[in-house]
Amino acid sequence: MIGKDWFATDDGRCNASEVVSQAEELTEPYRLYRFLTDLEDVLNRIEDDRLRLQAICPLVRQLLASSSWLQITPLEPDPQTGWEVSVLYDEPFFPLTVQLVAWAPGVISPIHNHGCWGLVALLSGEEKNTFWRRSSTAKSPDTIEAAGDCLLNPGDILCLMPDAIHHVEAMGDLPTISFNLYGETNYDRRFEFDPILGTAKNF
């Protein structure tokens, strides 16, 4: 399942980039623990978030191609909230979170950034990401405006810079399931935005 790689920047742009796959042919499954070890090596070797994401994308593709259990792990959106999260890895004092996330059809997330680099690989369904950019003024420092959108299909990977602002909408008639990966959140930089009021609050 090879799709497109998308890269969302802090200023609301989302551009397609060249898909790079791991050239090495594996003789055994690329298991989660190996992925996490390779991921830690990337984090230790590369400090720039954009370059990190470029190095991580092929590892994620290799994991998804080799780990069929990610495709069959039962995960259904909560009927009350419209979404559900299954944490695959989250170790205290280590800057990494790995999740599966499900959204019910038609559910729209709040407008937010993540305050860290992030990566979303769509496993099933269709997910529209709408991107926003800051359009601050002296009177309204938290004003934002829509900057475009991107429709993710299974196999697509979306990379997010720490201050990229977006919201997610599950499209179609089926839930979306995604593999999500995040670095260490800087909560002073993580916000939920209200474009009508022109406000932002930490969360």
Give the tens place of pLDDT for each residue, 59-75.
Answer: 999 999 998 888 777 89
Share of the chain above pLDDT 90, in %: 75
| Least confident among 9-23, 37-51, 143-157 | 9-23
CATH number where 136 lies: 2.60.120.10
Q: What is the mean pLDDT of residues 52-58?
A: 96
Please count the structural domains in the chain: 1
Q: What are phi and psi of 162, to 5 degrees?
A: -55, -35
Q: Is the pLDDT of residue 116 over 60?
A: yes
Closest CA to 113 of 147, 179, 149, 163: 163
The residue ranking higher by pLDDT, 22 or 105, is: 105
Question: Which range of residues forms the domain containing residue 30?
Answer: 5-202
Residue 88: pLDDT band with limits 50, 70, 90:
very high
pLDDT at 25: 61
